[in-house]
Structure 1
């Protein structure tokens, strides 16, 4: 009986190590040669997870859930009024809407396509119609597209306290 219990424990330990290594392979490796411009709270790029890994985390979350996270992703769009929000590509067909903690800092308006590391809180949010219209106007969307906004939308959201912009 003891040998069966010991064998089961060994299999479980080895399997958990395998899963841990798989998750660690999704973490972006340290690279001191990359130059970043910092916004908000000072952060470092070490330990940031890839956008695709973050996408899988979002898929397991429900409305109201949140996790502290640091992700690296490409910028899809930026608020063209003052840089007060941006969307990031999760590389799975979805975007994440990033705002900045306490409206404390803004991003340059010309960073679409650039790589960023964002640190903060990831969550699922339902955005009301008036807020969706506001974002569409900030992004310079056509009047027809803005008029087509008629219902709230559940989105992947992120409040960043610090951002690194790859130079």
Structure 2
């Protein structure tokens, strides 16, 4: 009879411990943990992001002031070295997508160039002034000559991210507002 009590007590304890286990609240959080990604910003469905090629085709079909809500995956080309407040993603045909973050609510680690990220948010076409291009060039650590070589406005692929999945890094610098 003691063995039966011990077995029942053990089962009850096991069930209680299992119910207290810290489980992810959403599928996205579970995927982030399993794929060693860190979520910056808001959670989003990252199951089927568009490729950079598909995203470039969407950008090429857009006019100024068009907006598309989308998730896509691309390699990071550059990150603001002051505080991680913007990044550029590689796109086909030597283009880049300029990514800023919703309400400056989160920033990127400065050491993720060449990593692949998944961004979610609003894609749009923007005309970037010479002054703004020069500012970004300075933030990216370009030389004075490279900055001064910027003399014309540019039509750019732009993106306002509300969430980003970034590969985990042991040396990741914590970025705060």
Name the TM-score class by shorter chain: 0.7 to 0.9
- Rounded to whole Å, the distance in 1 between the matches of 2:33 and 2:45 is 10
Query: Which whole-Å CA distance do the structure 1 matches of 2:33 and 2:47 have between them?
Result: 9
C-alpha offsets along residues 58-115 of structure 1, whole Å, 9 cap, x if unaligned? 1111111110010011100000010000000113321100000111110000000001
Q: Assess if the C-alpha contact under 8 Å between 1:52 and 1:92 holds in 2.
A: no
Q: Distance in 2 between matches of 1:85 and 1:32?
A: 24
**Structure 1 stretch 155-164 or stretch 144-153: which is displaced more?**
144-153
> What 5-or-longer segments of structure 2 have no aligned partner?
1-30, 169-177
Counterparts of 1:36-115 in structure 2, within 5 Å, are 36-115=37-116
Spell out, residue by residue over 1:25-72, the C-alpha distance to the aligned partner (whole angstroms, 9 max, x if none).
Answer: xxxxx9985221010112242121111100111111111111001001
Paired position in structure 2 for 1:17: none
Equivalent position SS for 1:52: helix
| RMSD, aligned CA | 1.6
Q: Given the two structures, how large is their TM-score scaled by the length of structure 1?
A: 0.78
User: Following TM superposition, where does structure 1 have runs of at least 4 consecutive aligned residues deviating by more than 4 angstroms?
Assistant: 30-33
Alignment length (residue pairs): 138
Larger Rg: 2
Residue 151 to residue 45, structure 1, CA distance change in 2 (3 Å): same
Structure 1 residue 130 corresponds to structure 2 residue 149: no
Unpaired segments ≥5 residues, structure 1: 1-29
